[in-house]
Chains A and B, each alone.
Chain A
Amino acid sequence: MESPATRSVTMNTEIALRRLNGKVKLLTAMANLFLEDAPQLHEQLHQAVRARSSAQIVRHAHSLRGLAAPFEATRFMQLAEEIEQHGSDGVSSGLLRLVDEFDAELLRLTDAVKTLCK
């Protein structure tokens, strides 16, 4: 179970709802789409890293960043952006460390987003 402090970094429901003009159902629907699409995009990102395909790394990190944006997932989006920046220069040890951190943050974000669907 994550602590409230971690959760506030991972996702900010208040800001997310404000952007959606307070529409809780819409946020829930967006959460469901996130839970459906994120695993596939995440797998594609790992495939791109394994294939050392810079263009695909940038592409999939960008897509994941866009997918998480409605939830004000600032930490996750920041890591995705860093992967986009590093990814365009090829696969380095720095990029692999970032991807590890990104994976862990995705797990946290997924857990947080799941709470919106209850």
Chain B
Amino acid sequence: MALALVVDDDRSMRFLVEKSLEEIQVKVTAASTAKEGLSLISAQRPDVVLLDIMLPDRSGLEVLRDIQAIDRRLPVIFVTSDNDSGTAIEAMHLGAYDYIFKPLDILQLNRLVQNAITSRQLMNVPVALAADLEARPDGKSFVGHSPEMLEVFKVIGRVAAQNVPVLIRGESGTGKELAAQALYQHSHRCDGPFIAINCAALPDTLLESELFGHEKGSFTGADRRRVGKFEQCDGGTILLDEVGDMALVVQGKVLRLLQDQRFERLGGNEVISTDVRIIAATNRPLEQMVADKTFRADLFYRLNGITISLPPLRSRRDDIPLLLKYFLSQSKSMLNKPHVEGLSPECLEILSRYDWPGNVREMQSVVQQAVLNSIGPIIIPEFLPRELTCPTRVDSAASEAGPAILAPVTVETSPAPVTNGQSLGDIGPFIEQRLLEKSTNLSTEVIEHVEYYLYTRVLEATNGNQSQAAEILGVTRGKIRDRIKAFNISIEKRVRNVTDPED
């Protein structure tokens, strides 16, 4: 369980943070003075610190310097009731992870703390480039013996120390973020910050503001000046994940930043200099996007200086047994199932033949579910998710619809991994069932169940139109694509004849 330290002399604030973070399974330890806080950092090694700017004994800004002396990579989130954003901006320049204003909004607080903890893990967990089998409890290993993966390790080793942009390409689930982490950890910037931004997860304006910051009043809701990630990450490394989903206007600003490391905040005139290494990652066909004019050619060439291509799992089948063993070992320890000995031959056969469209991430999830479902020492096919043992037909995407007359689009889904295709009305019984089964991941399972229903229902309502679905759901098209893939939703345009008797 992650640990957060809150340093605030206001006990109601300490109480609020504790209660709020309980919901995201983050344990809280608290201090009311800077001195007490610093000693707790040394003694308990928290994963994130929430620090009041105005403490009774010292200024939070001074305390930040002391925290950095103890642990340079520990994310510090300032909590301030000052309306003047000047102090907060100074804090960001000193290397704070972020800042949040009082009164606290608990959902915003939880999101911020969760991101900070993820960032801490990304910075701290060494990525094993060697093909070892020792399962790390946090799951951060690049496992592979195949010539394809050894080539990837070599390229990472060669370019990590070079201060050049790197483009990481590969299908979803092949480990692009791990490759970026490895590049960061083996670079001379490893003492600086590492920030990962998913460009597909944010609407265009928000992404621009997140990356470059904004001035007060630059758009509706911009009630304060905000420092962006490029400014915050000075001296460090930024991963622009899903860069192919970045809007053209943001691409232009990123290009300028790559060219001369300068930019302006949204709505501002001040030119800000920064020193950031950019690593970009995508699974999109950037060359085609350049031809279609949806991705800037000049940015593509800039990013494409050095490219690392991660092979899909199906083209490095030699690694499958090794990876299975690795994830089995990891899941046994994580799910506290020490009695699990391994896979039955039938099970291994199924898993070895499977195409793994979701790559290594999918394998990790499948093994985890199999271990969770297992009731004896040997994992048999029965414990595997249904889509592996009874594969369902995955229809071609809507864009591949043939000629003739098209009936309304039908959204078909294969069963969601854990929910077994139940409807939303089954949520109560589903929770009861999972409680009986002593689920240790119920929150995720229930959210997945609801999301699965929501996405299929909305896609059905929009006749498979992903842009409309994105608008209705208030998410990006990238998110829609991601969910379609994750839930194996098939959008089928049924071809029918006008004289079909069913008409």
Interface positions of A (Cβ within 8 A of B): 16, 19-21, 23, 26, 29-30, 33-34, 37, 59, 62-63, 65-67, 69-70, 72, 81
Contact = CB atoms under 8 A, between A and B. Distances in A.
Nearest to B56: A59
Interface stretch (B12-20, B301-309, B344-352): B12-20
Contacts of B15: 29-30, 33
Contacts of A65: 81
Contact of A66 (B19, B56, B102): B102
B54 interface: yes
B105 interface: yes
Interface of B: 9-13, 15-16, 19, 54, 56, 81, 83, 102-107
Given A21-B107, A70-B104, A62 B12 contact: no
Contact of A72 (B16, B81, B103, B104): B103
Contacts of A72: 103
Nearest to A69: B103
Contacts of A70: 12, 16, 103-104
B12 A30 contact: yes
6 contacts: A19-B105, A19-B106, A26-B16, A62-B81, A70-B16, A70-B103
Contact of B12 (A20, A23, A33): A33
Given A16-B103, A66-B102, A69-B81, 16 more contacts: A19-B106, A21-B107, A26-B16, A26-B19, A26-B106, A33-B15, A34-B12, A37-B10, A37-B11, A37-B12, A59-B54, A66-B13, A66-B81, A67-B10, A70-B12, A72-B103
A5 B9 CA distance: 33
Contacts of B107: 21
Nearest to B108: A19
A33 B106 contact: no
Contact of A21 (B10, B11, B12, B106): B106
B81 to A, nearest CB: 5
The 10 closest A-B pairs by CB, nearest first: A69-B103, A33-B12, A69-B102, A19-B105, A70-B103, A66-B10, A66-B81, A21-B106, A30-B12, A21-B107
Nearest to A63: B10
Nearest to A41: B10
B12 A19 contact: no
Contacts of A16: 103
Nearest to B101: A69
A65 B103 CA distance: 10
B44 to A, nearest CB: 24
Nearest to A32: B12
Contacts of B10: 37, 63, 66-67
A63 B56 CA distance: 10
Contacts of A59: 54, 56
Most B C-beta atoms less than 10 A away, residue of A16, A21, A66: A66
Nearest to B55: A59
